Chains A and B, each alone.
Chain A
Amino acid sequence: MKKFKTVESIAALIDRKNIDTDAIIPKQYLKAVTREGFGDNLFDDWRYLEPGNLGDDHSLRKKNPDFFLYNPKYNGARILIAGDNFGCGSSREHAVWALMDYGFDVVISTSFADIFYNNCFKNGLLPIVLKKKEIQELINIVNTNKYLIKINLVDQTVLCNNLKIKFEIDARRKEVLIEGIDDISETLKLSKKIKDYENKKALKTPWMFNG
């Protein structure tokens, strides 16, 4: 996994709560067997005025001019600010792949659904939880001027003009993103402990190991 570096970018804003992973990446694109190329279909139903399928040339599809990411002021945004409970619903990791493939490195919300939040850290996407009031302050500045937002994960800060907001993230998740840690390698270092556990359990609850 690539290491998370400081991000400095404008932020795209979608003022809507409960954005579910079906909206982030609709089901027809889940038929892919790779992790790449979902960016063209991020928010597909909101973004295009006609239906699409995996394998289509999406540049030929009629676009919805009112779609928030087509607003020129959001060009090149690497930070997404969204309403409460972002990423609810389906466990599809494709939602994280689509956000990252489109170009986002950070999502800011008041809350995230558990599975989505977890999936972010497996791919290098940083979900930042801020208080409603803090997000409002941030939006006020971003809306009036085209200020960049600077996200520093090491210091756990969101900086914008004169505003400085500290955010919480647990130490392990922070380390995973900064170092680009592969969880599987870390776990395999504990192989002996896992085997010992299995041996112990095979005596206590042998039926759990029936294939």
Chain B
Amino acid sequence: MKKTLYDKLWDEHHIHSFDNGYSLIYIDKHLIHEVTSPQAFEGLKQAGRNIWSKKSIMAVPDHNVPTKMREDGIKDPISKIQVDALNKNCQINDLLKFDLEDIRQGIVHVVGPEQGILLPGMTVVCGDSHTSTHGALAALAFGIGTSEVEHVLATQCLLQKKSLNMQINILGKMPEYFYSKDLALLIISKIGTAGGTGFAIEYTGDAIRNLSMEARMTLCNMTIEAGATTGLIAVDEKTISYVENKPFAPKGEEFLKAKEYWSNLVTDSGANFDKIVDVDITQSSPMITWGTSPEMAVAVDDKLPDLEDEKFFSRKEDLLNAFSYMGLKEKQNVNSIELDKIFIGSCTNSRIEDLRIVAKIVKNKKIAKNIKSAIIVPGSGLVKERAEKEGLDKIFKKSGFEWRSPGCSMCLGMNDDKLNEYERCASTSNRNFEGRQGRLSRTHLVSPATAAAAAIHGHFVDVREII
């Protein structure tokens, strides 16, 4: 029988079928951070249960950690309790953890692939919806709640019902300055934030094959914003050379054996998808979100929606709500939107390639006077080190950006990095929900290139016009 990549990953990890349609699925890797794990460890302790496989776990604090003055430690006492709880749980159980002082520390979804802890063909879970990132490695990776974190700790398994298969087939070549973040926003604006609910999505097409591994991670990361918990890309040469020589990846003979296994992690030709969506990108422009849901996105050379235009997905009330919250008007030109802050970072866009793109655009330019703050938060200590070796930090600082230490930072504002009320931010993160970056904050999701261009001009501009 012809199988999709998702079918193959599923079958390889399938342990048991229950007669009610559920299956027991084995989990290879379990990523843990401080926010969604303490109640799971506590539950385990109360039930007197043990961790099934300690070596399947990688832990790292990221959501609560400060991104400046790291040497002073965590000042917020409540955040500190949570990070201390993670430390304690890892210590007691002897789990692999990258401490705040460790250069390998960073955002869990940047660190995992960077270390080669996550490999093609694995099942990967984390109490974090952006676990979908790792589908870029052809790993079956998805976010779970805290009760399921506890379930995996105790049993190394999850009870799952198989998802349906969806193929998103990209037609045409990626236009210049149209990045995988733009592609993700374009897809979400087409299929909606619930378009992928119930599906595992596989991205296909020459454009996908031409994306770098980091760009693939950005696309798979945003899959959850289209409602699908899993976004996959088949293994190719790029996948294998990305993994090769990573610290935790197999070496020598074992690598060769693994490579052979990995090369089968592709959808068989003729395999059945329950749903196929074609997205033509030939004429596409960089995207920005204008509203309070990732599906509320337009091309940067377009206008904001016309409330009378029936083609828009939403009801009028939803559009009105979003316009009012965002302090914007219908039919407004995108380039008339002035910004207060710029955030470059998050598990979506904080890898070295993202930083290089930003550096290229801001080099020898100053950020606009109306920008109150522009911060760049690398995804890990190793990304930071690499950027500094390449001299990117100097370019950023000279332009007026702050160069921070790694963490989730302003993507969700659990640490000190947040927006004040009514502040407007061009952000390379993944969610523009009400209050996401701070109470009454206004978030526009964009690619690193568009964020960088906005920093220089103080308002949104079409990055293609300023190069």
Contact = CB atoms under 8 A, between A and B. Distances in A.
11 contacts: A22-B434, A22-B435, A30-B35, A111-B194, A115-B129, A119-B147, A190-B157, A194-B155, A197-B26, A205-B121, A209-B55
B24 A187 contact: yes
B144 A194 contact: no
A122 interface: yes
A153 interface: no
Contact of B81 (A31, A115, A205, A207): A31
Contacts of B434: 22-23, 45
What 3 pairs between A and B have smallest CB-CB spacing? A211-B55, A122-B147, A93-B145
Interface of A: 15-18, 20, 22-23, 26-28, 30-31, 33-35, 45, 51, 53-55, 84-85, 88-93, 96, 111-115, 118-119, 122-123, 170-172, 175, 183-184, 186-188, 190-191, 193-194, 197-198, 201, 204-211
Using C-beta atoms within 8 Å of the partner chain, give the interface range for chain B: 35 or more
Contacts, number: 191
Contacts of B250: 207, 210
Contact of B15 (A112, A197, A204): A197
Q: Is the interface of B mostly helix, strand, loop or mixed?
A: loop
B156 interface: yes
Given A90-B129, A197-B26, A170 B431 contact: no
A211 B58 CA distance: 9
A115 B414 contact: no
Given A193-B24, A194-B157, A114 B47 contact: no
A50 B330 CA distance: 29
A136 to B, nearest CB: 13
Contacts of B82: 31, 33
B121 A208 contact: yes
Interface string B423-458: 000000001011110011000000000000000000
B435 A26 contact: yes
A183 B15 contact: no
B397 to A, nearest CB: 29
Given A35-B39, A209-B55, A89 B433 contact: yes
Contact of A184 (B146, B151, B194, B261): B151
